[in-house]
């Protein structure tokens, strides 16, 4: 069910939420967190809501989507409430801010935060330079950004180190979870030799590839090189090598190890909803992510 409430106030929206719960049976009991989504791209708001809805099936929550409208328009708050089949396992409150209200996201969000539940903030497109210092970011114990759609993904993901505060993460990091797991598993097989160097290649505009390089640089003593080219990771050991490669748009990767036959493994690109669901599983600081950001400073680019 979708309920539109144009030209409204936060008080009226809250009254409607109570009415919906009382008449329709929708309840907030069991919600484990509040997810605040700050988007500046109204055209892609539906994709963002769909991703949040899918993630909510694993993490029942209240989703508050804040979309900035035209700053030159008259000050106005338009709202939409979604429950039931249109909201996954959550209840969705969409707030569209127009005029001067567009610069006061946190003030509009506060009345809708669930009591005694953690707050997670997600910027699916343009994120603030310092998420933890952003007014909405200050409300959250976990802050999720995404460098993938930035105009300059490499500079954006590199800037995450300077702006890092415990609780920060980026979806470019969760996109490589399976890559990290497969490479770690391959290295657990004999021969147990030290990695002397690593080469990571992929399209230059993909920050997830840079995160693989940063993660490796934080874990090995040898040099790590980042190149443009086919999507591939090569780990050079003292007398052997491990290579994991996949077509850019493919779903199956090839794992090659010296002295062993090649293996085909499932490794499709992860959807935003899956990455978001993974990040919502933990509300504590991700120290390995922080180490990977620091590792990026050691990566050489060719």
In the chain, where the domains are located: 2-145, 171-302
CA atoms in the 13 A half-sphere facing the CB of 65: 30
Check whether 122 has a pLDDT greater than 90: yes
Would you say residue 44 has pLDDT above 90?
no
Q: Which residues contact 25 (CB under 8 A, 6 or more apart)?
A: none
Number of residues assigned to the chain: 302
pLDDT tier at 29, thresholds 50, 70, 90:
low
C-alpha–C-alpha distance, residues 15 and 22, integer Å: 11
d(CA 150, CA 168): 17
- Torsion, Cα of 97, 99, 104, 106 (10° steps): 0
Structure confidence at residue 273 (pLDDT): 94
Model confidence over 126-158: pLDDT tens digits?
Answer: 999 999 999 999 999 999 999 998 999 999 999
**Spatial separation of the C-alpha atoms in residues 194 and 191, rounded to whole Å:** 9
Q: How many CB atoms lie within 10 A of CB 129?
A: 10
User: pTM for this one?
Assistant: 0.93
CA separation for the pair 274, 263 (Å, rounded): 25
Structure tokens at 95: 């707030």
- pLDDT interval class at 87 (50, 70, 90): low
**Model confidence over 157-186: pLDDT tens digits?**
999 999 999 999 999 999 999 999 999 999
pLDDT of residue 68: 85
More confident residue, 239 or 70: 239
- Token pair recorded at residue 156: 């954006």
- pLDDT number for residue 23: 77
Does 48 have pLDDT greater than 70?
yes
- Asked if 97 and 40 count as a contact pair (C-beta separation under 8 A), the reply is no
Indicate the average pLDDT of the chain.
92
d(CA 100, CA 104): 8
Residue-level pLDDT at 34: 94
Integer angstrom CA distances of residue 242 from 120, 176, 197, 232, 254: 38, 17, 11, 11, 11
281: Cα within 13 Å, side-chain hemisphere? 8
pLDDT of residue 190: 86
**Structure confidence at residue 35 as a pLDDT band (50, 70, 90):** very high
Q: What is the pLDDT of residue 171?
A: 98
pLDDT band for 291, please (50, 70, 90 cuts).
very high
């Amino acid at each position: 069910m979708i309920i539109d409430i144009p030209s409204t106030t936060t008080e009226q929206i809250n009254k409607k939420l109570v009415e919906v719960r009382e008449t329709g049976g929708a309840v907030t009991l069991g919600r484990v967190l509040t997810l605040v989504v700050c988007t500046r791209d109204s055209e892609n708001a539906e994709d963002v809501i769909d991703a949040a809805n899918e993630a909510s099936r694993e993490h029942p929550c209240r989703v508050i989507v804040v979309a900035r409208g035209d700053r030159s328009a008259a000050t106005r708050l338009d709202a939409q409430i979604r429950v039931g089949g249109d909201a996954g396992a959550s209840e969705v409150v969409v707030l569209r801010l127009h005029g001067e209200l567009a610069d006061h996201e946190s003030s509009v969000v506060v009345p809708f935060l669930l009591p005694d539940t953690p707050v997670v903030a997600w910027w699916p497109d343009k994120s603030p330079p310092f998420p933890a210092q952003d007014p909405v970011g200050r409300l959250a114990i976990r802050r999720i950004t995404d460098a993938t759609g930035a105009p300059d993904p490499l500079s954006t993901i590199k800037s995450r180190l300077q702006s890092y505060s415990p609780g920060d993460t980026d979806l470019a990091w969760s996109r490589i979870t399976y890559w990290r797991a497969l490479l770690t598993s391959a290295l657990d097989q004999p021969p147990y030799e030290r990695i002397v160097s690593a080469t990571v290649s992929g399209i230059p505009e993909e920050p997830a590839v840079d995160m693989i390089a940063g993660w490796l640089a934080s874990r090995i003593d040898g040099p790590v090189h980042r190149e443009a080219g086919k999507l591939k990771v090569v780990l050079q050991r003292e007398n052997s090598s491990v290579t994991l490669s996949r077509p850019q748009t493919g779903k199956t990767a090839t794992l090659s190890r010296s002295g062993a036959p090649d293996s085909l493994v499932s490794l499709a690109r992860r959807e935003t909803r899956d990455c978001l669901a993974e990040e919502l599983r933990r509300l504590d600081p991700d120290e390995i992510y922080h180490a990977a950001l620091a590792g990026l400073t050691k990566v050489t680019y060719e």
